[in-house]
Amino acid sequence: MSTAKKFAGQTAIYGLSTIISRMIYFILTPIYTRTLPVGGNGIFTTMYGNASIVNAILAFGMETTYFRYLQKREENKQQVYNNAFAAVVAVSVVFLVFCLLFLNQIINYMQAGVARDHADYAFYVKSFLVILVVDAFCVIPFAKIRADGRPVRYAVIKCTNIFFVMAFNLFFLFGVPYMIKHHLMGAEWMLSWYRPHWVGYVFLANATASILTVVLLLPEILKLKLKFDGSMFREMFAYSWPVLIANISFIINESLDKVMLKHMLPQTISDQQVGIYGTCAKIAIFLSVFVQAFRLGAEPFFFSHAKNKNSGDTYARIMNYFVITVAIICVAVIANVNIVALIIVGKQSYNVHGHMVDNVYWSGLSVVPPLLFGYLSLGIYMNLSVWYKLSDQTKYGLYISGIGAVLTIILNWVFIPKFSYMASAWISLIAYATMMILSYIWGQKNYNIPYNLKKNLAYIIISVILVYLSFHVFKRNIFAGNALLILFVTGTYFVERKELKAIFTKQ
């Protein structure tokens, strides 16, 4: 089997698990929009925005470091696993102790200084401490599964986790009210504590599912041996800390805009604006799913093939088809954005006491095109980042992501007060596009890979034009949008048909 086919097969499995996970979240989103107040969705979005930044810190860059040192220390893979796992656990324990010591201050920060709902925010924060620490414990065991080439096991555990999230959400949001209403067994007890439309049940469901995931990962966790190699760890630390800073910078690019919206907009509208932005951003889920699946398959694949003679050509070929795929997904999402929005947030207007009221979520659809092309730029950057990871020049990842983070912070600070979440959407694109360009320029100077720049740029530019026509000129008309999509796919197949035939007929 060709390396391209092997990579495609593994990515497909990771992609399937990611699609199932994201589709369940996709199903949960309209449930949240219909059962939780808009402000509740804003709280949910803000909490996860803060949590994602902490996740990067707790992982400590050890996932990428683990893959790199498996390749560098093939004769001592067990010790690489021991060191990586121990580092993440140690950081997580220190973080947990620190948070418990300053719990009230953290709660007050999450409330944005408003003396209300303190007990609720205390519950949210405690739930997130559980989620963050437990998920951190799972990082290296999941990485081991990927490194061992077991995408099916990875997919099963991930899908089981999201199934539990879905089940617990449905139980708290619908099951308990149903049992109370129909006076079923335990209804009287549930009535004593249940609160309708409370966002805390979402956090409780996620925390419970995270704990169950640890149980599923016990076979990997029990392979840990209490043996620490200080000399190897110092090498791993030198490699990982720039990755850690780069990951934090990346999360800032991804999530800080929502946190800044929460704290920079007037308190009377901040939760609502964050709720609209966070919910409409989920429409870009189809592209983010592919980018995530690509990352899961690409990182261990790139490291394991680094010593192959034609590795550069393989990386370039993968880039070609990555760009084609994400460009098609961008056009497809915009062509059908009205249908997706209808599923996620409901109709554009609805009847309230005999009067038609506009659905506020539809006002946020304009964030979708820039967010999609931001994800496209991010995916290309992830592909390009192979050069500094393989050449042990992770400091460049720090520089690139740091520049992106600075752009995110400064531009959001300047433009959020005037343009609200629309500024955040466009700034996300600017930051990721800058990172993509810098990585390409520095990569070609330090670790040349023969990417087909002209072809990749052509596909990106064509997709931008088609998205503009579909969204702005044809006003999101589904028939015009899908006609452009079919035209794009047909033209792409005509251009790439010989290469595609060669890949799928090669054994």
Q: Mean pLDDT throughout 388-403?
A: 88
Q: Ranked by mean pLDDT, which of 110-114, 226-230, 262-266, 416-420 comes out on top?
A: 416-420
Q: Is the per-residue pLDDT at 111 higher than 70?
A: yes
Torsion of CA 32, 35, 37, 43, to 10 degrees: -40
Residue pair 275/45 in contact by the 8 Å Cβ criterion: yes
Q: How confident is the model at residue 245 (pLDDT cuts 50, 70, 90)?
A: confident
Cα–Cα distance measured from residue 194 to residue 200, given in angstroms and rounded to the nearest whole number: 11
Q: How confident is the model at residue 105 (pLDDT cuts 50, 70, 90)?
A: confident
pLDDT the model gives residue 1: 45
pLDDT digits (tens, 9 = 90+) for 447-465: 889 999 999 999 999 999 9
Q: Mean pLDDT throughout 473-493?
A: 95
Cα–Cα distance measured from residue 64 to residue 387, given in angstroms and rounded to the nearest whole number: 13
Least confident of 102-116, 187-201, 323-337: 102-116
Cα–Cα distance measured from residue 405 to residue 223, given in angstroms and rounded to the nearest whole number: 37
End-to-end CA distance of the chain: 4
Tabulate helix, strand, coil % of the chain (nearest 5): 85, 0, 15
Domain count within the chain: 1
DSSP 472: I
H or E element at residue 225: none
pTM of the model: 0.75
Q: How confident is the model at residue 150 (pLDDT cuts 50, 70, 90)?
A: confident
Q: How confident is the model at residue 37 (pLDDT cuts 50, 70, 90)?
A: low
Q: Is the per-residue pLDDT at 36 higher than 80?
A: no
pLDDT the model gives residue 251: 74
Cα–Cα distance measured from residue 202 to residue 274, given in angstroms and rounded to the nearest whole number: 17
Give the E-state strand segments of 274-376 in sequence order. Answer: 349-352, 355-358
pLDDT the model gives residue 355: 63
CA 20 vs CA 15, 23, 91, 325, 483: distances in Å: 8, 5, 31, 19, 28
pLDDT digits (tens, 9 = 90+) for 52-97: 778 888 888 898 899 889 888 878 889 999 999 999 999 999 999 9
Residue pair 335/250 in contact by the 8 Å Cβ criterion: no
Q: What is the mean pLDDT of the chain?
A: 84
Residue pair 59/88 in contact by the 8 Å Cβ criterion: yes
* Exposed/middle/buried for residue 366 (C-beta within 10 Å: 0-12, 13-18, 19+): middle
Percent of the residues in the chain that have a pLDDT greater than 70, as a whole number: 88
pLDDT the model gives residue 116: 58
pLDDT the model gives residue 473: 95
User: In terms of residue numbers, what domain contains 353?
Assistant: 3-505
Q: Which tops the pLDDT comparison, 311 or 428?
A: 428
pLDDT the model gives residue 44: 64
Least confident of 200-214, 245-259, 369-383: 245-259
User: How wide is the angle at C-alpha 430 spanned by C-alphas 426 and 431, nearest 5°?
Assistant: 115
